[in-house]
């Protein structure tokens, strides 16, 4: 039914009970009040009042607003006093501009202009003004308890009373709910927005309703630069699947549907479900419940003792920049890991965490006094890094009470808040992708759309596993999640971080006179044994770490090797992690500086050794250098690696040699050096081809500094001129001639230092368009420009198209510093370039890319990997690969041997063959996959006790650099695998 609202001041009428009924309106003229047709005696009486044009007092206006919003008149009077800033004579006439300001204090900001029709003037407010204002906005008014069913409201509706149920009705407008309890919207459709006063947000329940948008408002706090754009207030009787999706299971699954890592990569124990047992809405809140199951849950890849839920907005809602906020209370208890965080909608820059991660809030239930806020970024795991800090609650508060957690994310800056208290601001990060010459231009990766995640994990790296003190179930209650756009001002412009050159403070550990940051290189000082968590590392000299939680057992002694003093680690039990046995020395390193690590090492057989430079516990053991794994043999060899510290200066960084979880073969280490080599790297203009074979650096115009033009140069000559730029949105190079010149070579966009080999054929591809049809010339020339290897004219249109140029180098010329020239002069049209690549073609396919397949040179070109959950030793005996497995771990990749760096070509058929056997019958998996774990080839092979030959043909679907892997995990029984005569060649 059509409804009409009429509400008036207490001094004029006494509001009695009435049911809204059909009404007809007629227009009012010359300030006269509107005429209404009512079926209500008191409204008929109101119609006959003669004093509608009388001015209203503050007292009358307060009564009007009190009745309208369903609040005490004294509350409105207090608002009046707050607005005026002084005591007001309530009997005085109220003016239009004062009435407007007072009403705005009670209204949601979106309705201030629509409802509040008072003028910014000194004219008095008439009784007819408020009657007309209310009637023009509100079509249906519910100020009495009861169930209203089958309503059809053509306009806005208003509720201000408890125990109101609207059922099977449609409101073709907005619905405003200002007060009351036990308000139910059952099978209701609202085409506009539902506005709910924040004080009653948990007193409104919707059942099977279609609500276009729900906004909870606190009018007294709405003067903000941020405007709400997305929210879930959880007032529905079920989780809104238009807003939230679920992750299911315990494993990270790749795009091909293959399992990648258990425990969501975090060693989590729970199995996530979409069951209402683990997530549901109740009393206006989302509840995520973690439970310990009476019987283990069967999953596709294992069984699990715990269940919980992980909700996400991926594919439903994502946003770049804004304010992201949730109000929630969290469970206390060892092993609970609740989190509110964000991941990129698309992995624009690469696999985790190259495309970034924003942790708005995460907490360890074992310590409820604090929460953390963190960003993850850098290079692909394990060369990733992160930055974050903790918020400590005031005394008497902790995570078990409701708190509001939020981030404000602007270009180049992210700020973390708890209950509105700013506790962290970050503006320094980077992103470096695989096959990229440089880092992506700042503020990557935090310049793309991210989606939100709410989850309650059980166990994992953040706070450890549950124990006998943990009470189940545990609940994470979420009152609301809201997302805001910055509308009160423009988003700030990002400012690329500048690394200030620092010097080590005097009280820091200083390098020795020879520049070495390592003290006691010859092991003359006592070595500190750290075998308990509370024991600290020696800040200057060597430490041997074997913490009981990781079960490593061994000793570190010193001995002579070839006349030099080495540290020897004898391993009795390799433990359950690479860090079960560690040789560590602390070093002081500076942000932005580059360091080189060198050392000599050996074993008594072939085994691997992982080393890295990292932060300590206070830095979350962040990896600064990335994990470097080297293959040791039974003779002393020298090893080295370099890294640049991209995180903050760390005066207590750790050089680690990790010898756990990889068999009992001993390790000798000596001549260890860490040196600051900043600025000492050899300068060269020749560009080594990228790992995917591309010889063009930054051909996608998204790398380097914020110009996104690193490695490119624009040359103008003979009076010509042009400008080149790259927009953040398109990531295309735009070359705009200002003075076109006379000849093509008057404007040249170029890249130098390209490596071209004699006799090899190359394929050059790029995308290009112009604002009008035109041509450009593409040349490959020698370093001095005297010799041309290829020259071709390309026609451009307004449509972005791909272009291909193929050429072959002369048989007698290798040029490691050739030039690519885009000649643009002589024409005035603007040119756009993107996706520039130069690779060798299939005519130069390597016929036998795999090396040392007969193991005649031991483990040369091969690399083993033993995960912490496995125990195995990899060696070569009598020119045959031997994998002695004591425990193969839980995953197929827990024990593997691979040959990386295989250059494979698209549309080529390869033959893979090898011999293999096992001391017990078992299956192994053989794959060829790239750095992103994309599999071009995968086969399960059944081994027996007899050496057999296995052979497969397969087609390569892309030009890529890949690894051949033998995956030998997932078997608890002790056994030995032998592999020999591995061959990979073009068929």
Closest CA to 7 of 125, 160, 121: 160
Distances (CA, A) of 83 to 102, 105, 481: 7, 9, 31
Pairwise CA distance, residues 701 & 725, whole Å: 10
Strand pairing class (156-159; 175-177): parallel
**Tokens representing residue 216 in the block:** 């909870």
**Tokens representing residue 703 in the block:** 């790398």
**Tokens representing residue 73 in the block:** 């008149």
Q: Contact, 187 vs 168, CB < 8 A? A: yes
Give the H or E element holding residue 82. Answer: helix 73-84
Among the options 362, 408, 477, 925, which is catalytic?
362
Distances (CA, A) of 624 to 424, 631, 654, 781: 22, 21, 10, 40
Pairwise CA distance, residues 851 & 834, whole Å: 36
Bridge partner list, 405? 326, 418
**Tokens representing residue 266 in the block:** 């975090």
Q: Could you say which DSSP state residue 285 is in? A: E
Closest CA to 952 of 910, 907, 917: 910
Widest CA span of the chain, in angstroms? 115
Q: Contact, 435 vs 692, CB < 8 A? A: yes
- Quickly tell me which residue has 């997305």 as its tokens: 230
Among the options 98, 325, 357, 777, which is catalytic?
357
Distances (CA, A) of 176 to 2, 152, 171, 193, 481: 17, 16, 11, 8, 20
Q: Could you say which DSSP state residue 349 is in? A: S
Q: Is 511 exposed, middle or buried (0-12, 13-18, 19+ CB in 10 A)?
A: middle
Pairwise CA distance, residues 229 & 486, whole Å: 10
929 is catalytic: no
Q: Contact, 646 vs 582, CB < 8 A? A: no
Pairwise CA distance, residues 545 & 541, whole Å: 13
- Classify the phi-psi angles of 58: left when phi > 0, otherwise alpha if psi is within -120 to 50, otherwise beta: alpha
Q: Is 74 exposed, middle or buried (0-12, 13-18, 19+ CB in 10 A)?
A: exposed
What torsion do the CA atoms of 810, 812, 818, 820 make, to the nearest 10 degrees? 0
Bridge partner list, 779? 791, 821
Q: Is 339 helix (H, G, I), strand (E, B) or coil?
A: strand
Q: Is 581 exposed, middle or buried (0-12, 13-18, 19+ CB in 10 A)?
A: buried
357 is catalytic: yes
Closest CA to 889 of 909, 907, 866: 866
Q: Contact, 745 vs 823, CB < 8 A? A: yes
Q: What are phi and psi of 842, to 5 degrees?
A: -65, -15
DSSP string for residues in 192-258: EEEEEEGGGGGGEEEES-EEEEEEEE-GGG--SSEEEEEEE---BSS--TTT-EE--BSEEE-TTS-
Closest CA to 799 of 769, 758, 771: 769
**Residue 260: how many CA atoms within 13 Å on its side-chain side?**
18
DSSP string for residues in 701-755: S-BSSTTS-TT-EEEE-TT-EEEEEE-TTT--EEEEEEE--SSGGGEEEEEEEEE
Q: Is 439 helix (H, G, I), strand (E, B) or coil?
A: coil
List, by residue number, the catalytic residues.
357, 362
């Amino acid at each position: 039914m059509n409804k009409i609202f009429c509400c008036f001041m207490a001094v004029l009428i006494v509001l009695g009970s009435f049911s809204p009924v059909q009404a007809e309106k007629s227009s009012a003229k010359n300030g006269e009040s509107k005429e209404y047709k009512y079926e209500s005696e008191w409204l008929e009486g109101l119609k006959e009042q003669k004093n509608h044009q009388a001015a209203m007092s503050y007292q009358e206006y307060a009564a009007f607003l009190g009745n309208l919003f369903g609040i005490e008149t004294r509350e409105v009077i207090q608002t009046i006093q707050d607005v005026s800033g002084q005591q007001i004579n309530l009997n005085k006439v109220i003016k239009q501009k004062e009435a407007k300001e007072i009403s705005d204090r009670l209204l949601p900001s979106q309705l201030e202009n629509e409802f509040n029709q008072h003028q910014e003037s000194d004219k008095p407010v008439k009784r007819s003004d408020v009657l007309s204002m209310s009637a023009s906005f509100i079509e249906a008014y519910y100020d009495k308890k009861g169930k209203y069913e089958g309503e059809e409201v053509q306009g806005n509706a208003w509720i201000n009373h408890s125990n109101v149920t609207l059922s099977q009705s449609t409101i073709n407008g907005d619905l405003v709910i200002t007060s009351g309890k036990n308000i139910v919207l059952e099978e209701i459709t609202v085409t506009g927005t539902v506005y709910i006063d924040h004080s009653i947000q948990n007193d409104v329940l919707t059942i099977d309703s279609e609500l276009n948008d729900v906004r909870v408002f606190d009018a007294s706090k709405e003067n903000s630069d941020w405007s709400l754009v997305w929210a879930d207030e959880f007032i529905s009787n079920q989780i809104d699947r238009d807003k939230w999706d679920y992750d299911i299971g315990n494993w990270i699954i790749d795009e091909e549907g293959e399992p990648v890592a258990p425990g969501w990569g975090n060693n989590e124990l729970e199995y996530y479900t979409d069951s209402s047992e683990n997530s549901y809405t109740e009393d206006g809140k989302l509840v995520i419940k973690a439970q310990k199951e009476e019987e283990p849950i069967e999953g596709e890849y294992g069984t699990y003792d715990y269940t919980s839920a992980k909700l996400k907005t991926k594919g439903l809602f994502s946003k770049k920049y804004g304010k992201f906020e949730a109000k929630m209370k969290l469970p206390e208890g060892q092993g609970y890991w609740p989190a509110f965080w964000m991941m990129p909608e698309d992995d624009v820059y690469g696999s985790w965490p190259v495309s970034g991660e924003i942790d708005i809030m995460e907490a360890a239930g074992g310590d409820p006094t604090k929460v953390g806020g963190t960003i993850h970024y850098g290079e692909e795991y394990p060369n990733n890094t992160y930055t974050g800090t903790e918020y400590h609650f005031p005394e008497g508060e902790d995570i078990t009470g409701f708190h509001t957690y939020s981030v404000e994310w602007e270009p180049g800056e992210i700020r973390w808040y708890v209950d509105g208290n700013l506790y962290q601001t970050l503006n320094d990060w980077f992103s470096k992708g695989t096959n990229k010459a440089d880092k992506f231009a700042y503020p990557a990766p935090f310049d793309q759309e991210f989606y939100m995640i709410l989850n309650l994990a059980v166990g994992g790296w953040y706070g450890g596993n549950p124990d006998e003190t943990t009470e189940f179930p545990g609940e994470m209650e979420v009152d609301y999640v809201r997302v805001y756009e910055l509308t009160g001002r423009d988003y700030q412009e990002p400012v690329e971080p500048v690394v200030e050159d620092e010097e080590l403070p005097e009280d820091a550990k200083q390098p020795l006179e020879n520049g070495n940051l390592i003290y006691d290189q010859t092991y003359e000082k006592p070595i500190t044994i750290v075998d308990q968590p509370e024991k600290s590392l020696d800040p200057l000299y060597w430490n041997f770490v074997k913490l009981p939680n990781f079960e490593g057992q061994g000793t570190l002694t010193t001995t002579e090797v070839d006349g030099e003093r080495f540290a020897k680690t004898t391993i009795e039990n390799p433990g359950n992690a690479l860090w079960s046995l560690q040789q560590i020395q602390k070093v002081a390193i500076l942000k932005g500086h580059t360091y080189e690590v060198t050392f000599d090492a050996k074993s008594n057989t072939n085994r691997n050794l992982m080393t890295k430079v990292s932060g300590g516990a206070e830095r979350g053991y962040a990896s600064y250098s990335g994990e470097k794994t080297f293959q040791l043999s039974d003779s002393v060899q020298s090893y080295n690696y370099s890294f640049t510290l991209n995180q903050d200066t760390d005066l207590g960084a750790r050089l680690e040699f990790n010898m756990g979880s990889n068999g009992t073969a001993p390790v000798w280490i000596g001549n260890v050096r860490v040196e600051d080599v900043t600025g000492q790297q050899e300068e060269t203009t020749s560009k080594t081809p990228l790992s995917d074979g591309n010889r063009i650096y930054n051909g996608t115009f998204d790398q380097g500094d914020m110009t996104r033009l690193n490695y490119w140069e624009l040359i103008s000559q003979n009076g010509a001129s042009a400008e080149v730029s790259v927009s953040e949105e398109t990531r295309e190079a735009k070359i705009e001639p200002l003075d076109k010149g006379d000849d093509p070579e008057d404007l040249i966009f170029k890249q130098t230092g390209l490596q071209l080999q004699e006799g090899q054929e190359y394929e050059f591809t790029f995308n290009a368009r112009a604002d009008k049809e035109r041509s450009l010339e593409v040349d490959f020339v020698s370093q001095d420009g005297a010799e041309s290897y290829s020259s071709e004219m390309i026609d451009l249109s307004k449509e972005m198209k791909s272009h291909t140029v193929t050429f072959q180098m002369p048989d007698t010329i290798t040029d490691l510093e050739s030039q690519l020239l885009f000649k643009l002069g002589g024409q005035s049209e603007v040119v756009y370039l993107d996706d520039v690549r130069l690779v060798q073609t299939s005519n130069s396919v390597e016929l036998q890319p795999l090396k040392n397949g007969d193991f005649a040179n031991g483990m040369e070109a091969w690399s083993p990997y033993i995960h912490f959950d496995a125990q195995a030793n990899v060696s070569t005996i009598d020119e045959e690969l031997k994998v002695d497995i004591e425990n193969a771990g839980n995953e197929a990749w827990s024990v593997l041997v691979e040959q990386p760096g295989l250059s494979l070509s698209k549309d080529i058929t390869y033959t893979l063959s090898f011999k293999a056997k096992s001391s017990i019958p078992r299956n192994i998996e053989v794959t060829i996959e790239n750095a992103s774990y994309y599999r071009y080839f995968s086969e399960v092979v059944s081994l027996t006790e007899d050496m057999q030959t296995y052979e497969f043909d397969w087609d390569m679907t892309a030009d890529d650099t890949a690894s051949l892997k033998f995956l030998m995990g997932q078997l608890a029984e002790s056994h030995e695998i032998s592999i020999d005569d591995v061959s990979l060649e073009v068929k």
